[in-house]
Amino acid sequence: MKRLLPALLLLAPGCGPAFDADPGQSVDPIRAQPEAAPTGHAAAARADLRIKRWRQLSLDLQGALELTADEICRETGNFDCTRLHVAQLGGVSIDHALYEPIDWWTVTTGLSMERVVLQACWNRLEKDRVADAPVVFGHVPPTGLGATDADLDAQSVELWRRLLARDPSADELGEARALHRANVESGASDADWAVLLCFSLATSSEHLLY
């Protein structure tokens, strides 16, 4: 998505803001001057962006996709992904003698975030496939093809509202349709596209930074 900067590009060492630091201390936040705000929106007082830690990421996905903590992501079906990758996601692990959180993203932070998000989106789809009333992915067929442009737009709006708390612009809806066309050409189904769109939005800078 052109207007959504993928988190992976931000997660290279030295290319992004730090995890949350002490409230009284600013650890190298993004200092770019805020651009002029669109009509009807106030400009940010300061450009001080921070990345979500493991707990924030998990809670946001739980709320947006209506999953429990155990349903977000499990490695080999046994271990909570957010706790398994807790160090890369800005947390501590007493079991591994990590008593202080890291101040900066690691080279695997982006991969860990993407791992958690992709599994969460897929798990929501799997629940919706067998649900009498799908919660999130109810606007496209659970298998195969058959979604109309109206269906694609409805599914896009559903995901934008849940993950980014806003409606998509006309350009963004067009980009979502273009993503669908590319997916179909590669042999994917409508549901595969919906999961990929969920993944794209949930790993965007708009979702991961606050």
Residue 116 CA: distances (Å) to CA of 98, 120, 121: 21, 6, 9
**pLDDT band at 87; cut points 50, 70, 90:** low
Residue 90 is predicted with a pLDDT of 61
Domain locations in the chain?
A: 7-208
What's the mean pLDDT when you consider all of the chain? Answer: 79
Determine contact, residues 155/139, Cβ cutoff 8 Å: yes
Q: What angle do CA 42, 29, 80 make, to 5 degrees?
A: 100
Give tens-digit pLDDT for 160-189: 999 999 999 999 999 999 999 999 999 999
Residue 21 has pLDDT above 60, yes or no: no
- What 3-state class would DSSP assign to 161? helix
Find which of 20-24, 38-42, 166-170 is predicted with most confidence, using mean pLDDT: 166-170
Residue 2 has pLDDT above 90, yes or no: no
